[in-house]
Structure 1
C-alpha cells in the first residue's frame, strides 16, 4: 500500500476530455500513468482508450490499445513512467467501487506481468449533464492485498514535471 498518493491536478482535464469524447451515460476510462517512489504513488496522467467496449454499467478497454499507451508513455519518459492503476466513470452513479471494480483490482494485483500488488483505481462520478471535474466527484481507491479489498485513499493534488515529457 502507498504511503501517499500524489495526483497531478491536470488529470481532471484528461478525464473531462475523455468524457466529452464519449456518451456521458456510458462508462469510459483507461490506465493511470505515473511512478512509484519509496512508498508514494505519483499519478501523472489519466489516459483514455479509443478501442473499448462502453456500456451503461461497464467499461472494457482493448488490452492491446492499453499496452500501446503504456509503451508510448514509458518510451516518451525515458523509462520513468509506468502503469500505476486505472480510472473509469460511473455514469449517474457514485465514486464508490462496485463488486466488479473490486474483482478487477484483485485480478490486476494478481497479474505477475503487471508487477503491481496494490494498484490504484480512480472512479469518477458523472451525470448526464456536462461534467466539470470537481474534486468531490473523484474517488481514489487502492487494492489492499492483506484485506483483499479496495480501500479509500486520500489524494494529494500536485503538479508534476514528468507530465511535460514528450
Structure 2
C-alpha cells in the first residue's frame, strides 16, 4: 500500500507562499502531526525555517535550535499527540523530483538521531517556480542489505489535501 500524507490546505498555501518568497533560493520547514495508520501521516502544523535559516541557490539549512524549540512547544501544546513527522524544502526550477544525495544524508541523520524519535521520516520536495509548485512526498527508512550495509529505502507517497475545520477554541483565537 502506498503511503498517504494528509496535508491541510492552509499549510500547503503557507508552503507555496514561502516558496514564492524565496524562489531564487531553497527554503523549507518542518511538519508536525501524527500517524493515523502505519503508512498514513496526518500533518497538523508546519514550523517555518526560522530566523537564522540559511537559504542558498542549491542548499537550505533551517535554524535548527529555533525549530527544535518550536517542535518541543508544539508537542507540549498538542498534549504530546503531535510529533515530528519530517521536513519539506524547495528545489527551484528542478527537473527531477528525486531526493538529492544531500537529502538522503539528512534523512539518514534524522533516522539515526534518537532525540528525533522518527525511524520513518517524511520528506516533501516542492519543485517548480512561483505559482507553479508541485509536491513530491517521500517516506524513508533504513533497511539492512546483505547483512552489512544500511540503505535508505525511499517510497513515493501520495498527498491528499484537506480543508481543516476550526474548533470553537481556534475560532475564538481568530
TM-score normalised by L of structure 1:
0.83
Q: Which residue of 1 aligns with 2:17?
A: 17
1:162 to partner: Cα distance: 8.0
Q: Which residue of 2 aligns with 1:111?
A: 113
Tell me, which stretches of 5 or more residues in structure 2 are unaligned?
A: 144-150
1:161 to partner: Cα distance: 5.1
Q: Which residue of 1 aligns with 2:79?
A: 78
1:154 counterpart SS class: strand
Q: Which residue of 2 aligns with 1:37?
A: 36
1:27 counterpart SS class: coil
TM-score normalised by L of structure 2:
0.79
Select which of 157, 160, 164 maps to 2:161. 157
Contact residue 3 and residue 157 of structure 2 kept, 8 A: no
Correspondence 1:95-134 to 2 at 5 A: 95-127=97-129, 130-133=130-133
1:72 counterpart SS class: helix
155-164 vs 62-71, which deviates more?
A: 155-164
Aligned length: 160
1:76 to partner: Cα distance: 2.8
Q: Which residue of 2 aligns with 1:144?
A: 141
Tell me, which stretches of 5 or more residues in structure 1 are unaligned?
A: none
Cα distance in structure 2, aligned partners of 1:161 and 1:119? 26
Cα RMSD (Å): 2.5
Q: Which residue of 1 aligns with 2:147?
A: none
Q: Which residue of 1 aligns with 2:48?
A: 48
Cα distance in structure 2, aligned partners of 1:121 and 1:162? 26
Cα distance in structure 1, aligned partners of 2:82 and 2:157? 21
Q: Does residue 4 of structure 1 match 2:1? A: no
1:2 to partner: Cα distance: 8.1
Correspondence 1:84-95 to 2 at 5 A: 84-93=85-94, 94-95=96-97
1:153 to partner: Cα distance: 1.0
2:48 counterpart SS class: coil
Larger fraction in strand: 2
